């Protein structure tokens, strides 16, 4: 009888082990399924967003000007050829952010002086905010530096000149929206 109790005890322990292992594996599978669903939702939303961008692409042939103060020109060694970066703030904006500038003029910009940044947009694409402008500008400056005047989407020409205006006469035009 003691022999059977030992076998039943061992069988019970093994059975409990398999039940625990099954529960653990089942929870892991549910977690993986949840992760896969989240990834699937992310991919579908990303595809929908890109599709919306394609459908909302517009032809741009316009320009706008913003007056900005140069806080500092960055010495960023990993920038693409023809591209440089500057920390600026808008006139009376007092919030610093980074803009892309042509490498060829970075030495001509003086800190704490105001400059008029004139952006001329030409081509087809989507411009929702200034991050989009910077994104297109990188390609435009890189292509211009390498002798190709087209970026395949929106080409942006940037002119920067020292501002001769003072006070509220500074130019702050909205990004051209069509």
Mean pLDDT of 163-178: 71
DSSP state letters, 42-91:
HHHHHHHHHHHHHHT-EEEEEEEEEEEEEEEEE--TTPPTTEEEEEEEET
Burial environment of residue 119 by CB neighbours within 10 A (0 to 12, 13 to 18, 19 or more): buried
Average pLDDT over all residues of the chain = 77
102, 129 in Cβ contact below 8 A?
A: no
156, 137 in Cβ contact below 8 A?
A: yes
Tokens of 157: 């020409």
Give residue-wise pLDDT tens across range 44-86.
Answer: 776 656 555 555 778 888 888 888 889 999 887 777 777 888 9
Q: What percent of the chain has pLDDT over 90?
A: 3
- Residue 178, pLDDT > 50, answer no
The pLDDT of residue 143 is 66
Q: Is the pTM of this model over 0.85?
A: no
The pLDDT of residue 43 is 78
156, 142 in Cβ contact below 8 A?
A: no
d(CA 60, CA 134): 15
- Residue 144, pLDDT > 80, answer no
- Residue 151, pLDDT > 60, answer no
76, 85 in Cβ contact below 8 A?
A: yes
Give residue-wise pLDDT tens across range 97-135.
Answer: 888 888 888 888 899 898 998 888 888 888 888 788 878
The pLDDT of residue 32 is 72
Residue 2: pLDDT band by 50, 70, 90 thresholds?
low
The pLDDT of residue 95 is 85
* 3-class secondary structure per residue, 119-159: EEEEEEECCCCHHHHHHHHHHHHHHHHCCCCCCCCEEEEEE
């Amino acid at each position: 009888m003691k022999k059977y109790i030992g076998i039943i005890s061992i069988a019970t322990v093994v059975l409990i082990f398999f039940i625990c292992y099954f529960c653990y594996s089942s929870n892991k599978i549910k977690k993986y399924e949840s992760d896969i669903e989240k990834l699937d939702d992310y991919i579908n939303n990303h595809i929908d967003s890109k599709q919306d961008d394609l459908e909302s692409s517009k032809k741009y042939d316009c320009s706008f000007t913003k007056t900005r103060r140069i806080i500092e020109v960055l010495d960023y060694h990993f920038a693409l050829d023809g591209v440089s970066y500057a920390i600026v703030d808008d006139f009376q904006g007092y919030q610093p952010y980074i803009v892309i500038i042509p490498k060829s003029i970075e030495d001509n910009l003086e800190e704490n002086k105001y400059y008029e940044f004139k952006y001329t947009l030409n081509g087809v694409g989507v411009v929702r905010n200034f991050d989009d402008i910077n994104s297109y500008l990188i390609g435009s400056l890189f292509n211009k530096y390498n002798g190709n005047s087209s970026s395949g989407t929106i080409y942006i020409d940037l002119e920067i000149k020292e501002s001769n205006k003072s006070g509220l006469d500074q130019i702050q035009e909205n990004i051209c929206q069509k």
